[in-house]
Structure 1
Amino acid sequence: MDRTRARQIALACASGVLLPFCFPKFDLGLLAWVALIPLHLALDSTTRRRAFWMGCLSGTIGFTGIMAWVVTAMTTYGKVPLPVSYAILLLLTAYLGIYVGIYSWAVVWLREFIPRYGILFAPCVWVALELIRTYFLSGLPWCLLGYSQYRELELIQVADHLGVYGVSFLIILVNLTLAEFILWLMPFFRGFHPRKLPWEMTTITALLMISTWSYGTSLLNSPGLLLPRTSITAGLVQPNVDQAVKWDEAYREETMQRFDRLTSRFGTGVDVVIWPEAATPFLFEREAGYQLQLMAWADRAQAPLLFGSPALRFYPDRRPYLLNSAYLLSADGTILGRYDKHHLVPFGEYIPLKSSLLFFLDKLVEGIGDFEAGPGGTVMTLAPKARAGNDGNPGGARPVKFGVAICYEVIFPDLVRQFAANGAEFLVTITNDGWFGNSSAPAQHFAMVVFRSVENHLAFARAANTGITGAIDPFGRIIRATPLFTEEAVQVTIPAWQPRTFYSRHGDVFAYGCVVICALLCLLNLFRPKEPEPGTTAITPA
């Protein structure tokens, strides 16, 4: 291996090593703005083929660090042998690394296709690939690059127009610009004639960053936008039930007593009590005794109870199947609303292609059966108690609509957007992150909820079995976040309103626009005149 190739591989590996530090638990979000500079330096003066493999290497290393928690989920709860778990992790991260490989290939191709200016389109390629990753093979948009900035509130407000993809675009653009600037400076230190200063890219990047920062700052400093008149007081329960005994009937009473004890701490001071995903260790609709118990607790709180529980249904041929559901139960036993999880976890809640190609597999995690998807986008209605600043009157406050995203669903921007488009005034996510153990996954999962709040400017309440439970305001401020593996009863007050952002109305227009730009570049390349082969003479008409 020559020195040039060794240097390129080392630079590509450096970017892969830096990427995990940009996300929780490390939380060095600002590192993301420079983490990909080494990879871009490695792509200078290389072939497309080599660029692809260097990108795959960099991406595989990066995603292995980001998603190491997969091993915890499979070995601890899926009973998968440790070597097999590491093999599956490597297969998964190698697949995700291909996206970085394609991006790296595109960077070199753009330099050749449109010298000097083609590189300006590279961020569009990255965004297009993130959008494809969101939907391809059921989708896995875990830790998109933009999520690394969940604490940089001034920078991420632009997500109310561009979504998380817009923040990813900016991060790639800054990395590219800094890499181009370094490449311009390097000849000075070697005594060579320098390449032309990339002033166009520098100017565009500076203008976009200044505009983004100014927009976010002005939005966060606008008092009129920060004071919705209606608010919801929610009681969030984090029971910390061990996943290994969650469905063991011998522990059912102990689990329910824990819920009873934590729920009682709220008294009558909340508008709704929220339990986590699959909170009840039984099928709620089929346990009359426990139904009465839950009704009594809702009556004691004088507030509806929102909780997760599986629902049993039957196909026309009487074969059973399950829904992962969230119920809103009133004190008198009325089910005020129900939402059935729409986007299921592949290999966790169902096996894709099980009837044909993957018939030999079973789910990687223990549970109570295979699930079917619900319709999605369903909103529920809650009547908060009358109080000052709550549009209150002697008869009570006005009804408020809200949407519930269950666990994995919250990482899909467009799915959550549908709740806002259907009239939700605040959002809830219930989850069971017990599968992740004491890994970085719960913090990564929580960070993604921040972007769903900013995109739609709707507050989020989050109840998790083992944590992180908490709340986020409509502009991404974390109001409360509990530690992992503790019993918690958290009371939070969050605003309820319906701002209808550009993103909640129109969705991923920006990301699809990047896809269109990439498609047009491919078409231009397909139909452009072919250059003559080396050693031949072009014939021009007389």
Structure 2
Amino acid sequence: MDSWAGWRERGARMLDRASWRAAAALVAGALPALAFPAPSLWWFAYVCLVPLLLLIRSAPTARRAALDGWLGGTGYMLAVHHWLMPSLHVFIVILAALLGLLWAPWGLLVGRLLRGQMTGVAVAAAVVVVPCGWLMIELVRSWEALGGPWGLLGASQWQVAPALRLASVGGTWLVSLLVVAVNTALTVLVTHSAARAAAVVSLVVGALAVGSAWMWAPRPEWSGTARIAVVQPGLVEGPGSVQRRLARGEELTRSLAGRDLDLVVWGESSLGVDPARRPDVAARLAALSRTVGADLLVNVDARQTDGAGRTGIFKSAVLVGPRGLTGDRYDKMRLVPFGEYIPARSALGWATSMGRAAGEDRLRGTGPVTMRLPGADGLRLGPLVCFESAFPDMSRRLVRDGVQLLVAQSSTSSFQQGWAPGQHASLGALRAAESGRPMVHATLTGVSAVYGPRGEAVGAPLGTDTSGTAVYGVPLARGTTLYVRLGDWPLYGALGVLAVYCAFEGVRALRGRGRTRAVGVAASAGS
């Protein structure tokens, strides 16, 4: 015991030094990255915030708590997005520090709620309000221009069946709330001996809520099977890579002849030319469709003209049938900042000289598109392109439009050796669970994966070391999840909770000032 007390005393002295405390906040903030692919330590998510919460709780002032929150958020953003370093170089540190500022108010909130003696009511407030504050951070940084909803804490639970069930009720937002609530309760458990019973009750209530969702939330009903093939040409680099990638895609697609397919899916940027302007390419694709007996969903990354007469570089999902282009085309709507366009290019255009920032802005599509296959009993599919599979609202909108199959075409070849391919593929499980519809995540270079309507993996994924094809019997479903019906209700609930908390604190502060003024008046009268 004496040895443990000595270590605690040394640790407290180290944290009194600003440099040591700053380093501890950065490291503590980075820990949640271990719950995401590639490490995929999903269970670690339920304790990963405890070190940061303990650090912020020990802050001597509100200003220090906000600074600890900021540094923790900076560490989080750096760790979860570290694979962007080859593209953004030092700029990623600047972006992480700017986005980390979103955690400063959360640091104030944590310091306010977890410091000092805690009653049962105070524990309940902390377990509810601290996760709501975290959810506001996720909401704000989910804006496309700030990088989108990549690395939401709830997304780390993509392999956990109860968590996926919870996602069908309130989306990934609800899973994030649960994860932060558990971390908060555990922090109370280890720091407030008088409030441990209340912390345990909070954990039990959380477990019962998940169990209730598991038992009572609507489940998608099986309605058939579609046979979907994914073509993954693998890494193709160097001169003539566009033509060689197309040739490899054709070769792999021809090998699928006679497999009784409903659809063949190619990855993002699988075509570097517009087949509408290249009749020879369109004819080759139509011949492939006839060979395999199914339509092809390819992806064009080239200069095109859209239906509104705009000409520029679009990223488009294009459906090709046995007779050629079917006329079904979806242009990517949400673009990757710096990767596909430069925000405020006139001011930030210098970023093109660093890493792989976009030399020319891509143009955006004008709206979602549903496509109907001629076979497969008129199967309706909803295409998404790469980055868009991170946005829960996009897949939800497609399902509300009647889509039976979600298809995401992606390419993470620039980050082939990092964590990005696995992280990106894992998002398909969440979108499937949220929407109650299967999702095909097809890439150029891996990881390609397919998920059923409950978020369960279908077949084996194609890894980043694979150049080949895979055929999946994809289970289709009917019915509507609560998330599709109700939308982002956890976000609105969190906003309501924070509004009530702020109002309560405001009233309490006014009453405190009133008492202080009354005491001062009484003292003056007595003198």
Structure 1 unaligned blocks of 5 or more: 75-84, 186-195, 386-397
Structure 1 counterpart of 2:52, from 39, 44, 48: 39
Alignment match, 2:32: 19
Alignment match, 1:263: 253
Structure 1 counterpart of 2:471, from 473, 491, 498: 491
Q: Distance in 1 between matches of 2:77 and 2:351?
A: 25
Q: Distance in 1 between matches of 2:413 and 2:307?
A: 35
Q: Distance in 1 between matches of 2:209 and 2:383?
A: 33
Q: Distance in 2 between matches of 1:518 and 1:301?
A: 56
Q: What's the C-alpha RMSD, in Å, of the aligned pairs?
A: 3.0
Deviations 1:509-535 (CA, angstroms, capped at 9, x unpaired)? 111221232233334434541524998
SS at match of 2:334: coil
Instruction: Kindly indicate whether residue 154 of structure 2 is the aligned counterpart of residue 156 of structure 1.
Output: no
Change (3 A) 1:341 1:439: same
Alignment match, 1:57: 71
Structure 2 counterpart of 1:234, from 223, 228, 235: 228
State the Cα distance separating 1:440 from its structure 2 match: 0.4
State the Cα distance separating 1:477 from its structure 2 match: 1.3
Alignment of 1:236-315 (within 5 A): 236-242=230-236, 244-245=237-238, 248=239, 250-268=240-258, 269-310=260-301, 312-313=303-304
State the Cα distance separating 1:351 from its structure 2 match: 1.4
Alignment match, 1:205: 203
SS at match of 2:79: helix
Partner amino acid for 1:176? T
Instruction: Kindly indicate whether residue 104 of structure 2 is the aligned counterpart of residue 104 of structure 1.
Output: no
Contact 1:153 1:216 in 2 (8 A): no
Alignment match, 2:7: none
Q: Distance in 2 between matches of 1:290 and 1:461?
A: 25
Alignment of 1:86-485 (within 5 A): 86-110=89-113, 116=119, 117=122, 118-120=125-127, 121-135=129-143, 137-185=145-193, 196-213=194-211, 215-216=213-214, 228-242=222-236, 244-245=237-238, 248=239, 250-268=240-258, 269-310=260-301, 312-313=303-304, 320-354=311-345, 356-362=346-352, 365=356, 369-385=360-376, 398-479=377-458, 480-485=460-465
Deviations 1:125-145 (CA, angstroms, capped at 9, x unpaired)? 111221111127354221111
Alignment match, 1:82: none
State the Cα distance separating 1:171 from its structure 2 match: 0.9
Structure 1 counterpart of 2:512, from 527, 531, 534: 531
Alignment match, 2:6: none
Q: Distance in 1 between matches of 2:307 and 2:227?
A: 42
Change (3 A) 1:534 1:14: farther
- Could you tell which deviates more after superposition, 503-512 or 270-279? 503-512
- Could you tell which deviates more after superposition, 503-512 or 158-167? 503-512
Q: Distance in 2 between matches of 1:33 and 1:463?
A: 31
Partner amino acid for 1:370? D
Contact 1:425 1:458 in 2 (8 A): yes
Q: Distance in 1 between matches of 2:350 and 2:229?
A: 43
Q: Distance in 1 between matches of 2:305 and 2:295?
A: 28
Change (3 A) 1:477 1:174: same
Q: Distance in 2 between matches of 1:61 and 1:149?
A: 20
Q: Distance in 2 between matches of 1:96 and 1:368?
A: 24
State the Cα distance separating 1:368 from its structure 2 match: 8.1
* Higher helix proportion (structure 1 or 2): 2
Q: Distance in 1 between matches of 2:475 and 2:310?
A: 44
Q: Distance in 2 between matches of 1:366 and 1:140?
A: 17
SS at match of 1:24: coil
State the Cα distance separating 1:19 from its structure 2 match: 1.9
Contact 2:333 2:367 in 1 (8 A): yes
Q: Distance in 1 between matches of 2:30 and 2:343?
A: 32
Partner amino acid for 1:511? L
State the Cα distance separating 1:369 from its structure 2 match: 4.0
Aligned residues: 500
SS at match of 2:185: helix
Contact 1:410 1:416 in 2 (8 A): yes
Contact 2:342 2:357 in 1 (8 A): no
Change (3 A) 1:501 1:483: same
Q: Distance in 1 between matches of 2:350 and 2:26?
A: 36
Alignment match, 1:79: none
SS at match of 2:132: helix
SS at match of 1:231: strand
Contact 2:220 2:479 in 1 (8 A): no
State the Cα distance separating 1:60 from its structure 2 match: 2.1
Which TM-score applies when normalising by structure 1? 0.84
State the Cα distance separating 1:422 from its structure 2 match: 0.8
Q: Distance in 2 between matches of 1:348 and 1:373?
A: 14
State the Cα distance separating 1:231 from its structure 2 match: 1.6
State the Cα distance separating 1:215 from its structure 2 match: 3.1
Deviations 1:106-127 (CA, angstroms, capped at 9, x unpaired)? 1123458996424231111111
Change (3 A) 1:451 1:316: closer
Change (3 A) 1:257 1:366: farther
- Could you tell which deviates more after superposition, 15-24 or 27-36? 15-24
Percent identity for Structure 1 against Structure 2: 26
Contact 2:114 2:188 in 1 (8 A): no
Q: Distance in 2 between matches of 1:23 and 1:350?
A: 27
- Could you tell which deviates more after superposition, 204-213 or 432-441? 204-213
